[in-house]
């Protein structure tokens, strides 16, 4: 593995470790429902601070179940990942194409005098 690829792999591993460690160390064990969303916790805190507060508007569309919600979230991630992959793939292909074209013209340059 090149030095470059090694650094990139290390970066990814560090991110993975940061995400997994809280789960492995059981940092959510003190909670009734571990690892819920912080937005939900904020809603609970609001109700605690102002028990009479009622949300005055509800979402126009709400995913009917947790499954559908997670599907939509994955769709969002997939769309983003797709565009990113397209970007990097396109540029890699372009670079390879340019290199090949350059090599080809160099070949023909050296070939013509002999012919």
Among positions 6, 84, 102, 106, the unique one binding another protein when judged by CB under 8 A: 84
Closest by Cα among 68, 34, 39 to 55: 39
Q: Please say which residue, 61 or 113, places its beta carbon nearer to another protein.
A: 61
The torsion region of residue 58 among left (phi > 0), alpha (psi -120 to 50) and beta comes to beta
Among positions 1, 6, 52, 60, the unique one binding another protein when judged by CB under 8 A: 60
**Residue 30 interacting with another protein (CB under 8 A):** yes
Q: Please say which residue, 28 or 97, places its beta carbon nearer to another protein.
A: 28
Give the Cα separation of 68 and 62 in Å (integer).
10
């Amino acid at each position: 593995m090149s030095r470059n690829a090694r650094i990139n792999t290390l970066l990814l591993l560090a991110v993975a470790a940061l995400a997994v460690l809280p789960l492995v160390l059981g940092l959510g064990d003190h909670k009734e429902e571990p690892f819920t969303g912080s937005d939900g916790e904020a809603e609970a805190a609001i109700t605690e601070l102002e028990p009479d507060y009622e949300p005055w508007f509800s979402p126009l569309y709400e995913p009917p179940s947790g499954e559908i919600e997670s599907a939509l979230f994955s769709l969002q991630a997939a769309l983003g990942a797709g565009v990113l992959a397209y970007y990097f793939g396109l540029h890699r292909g372009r670079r390879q194409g340019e290199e090949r074209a350059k090599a080809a013209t160099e070949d023909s340059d050296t070939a013509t005098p002999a012919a």
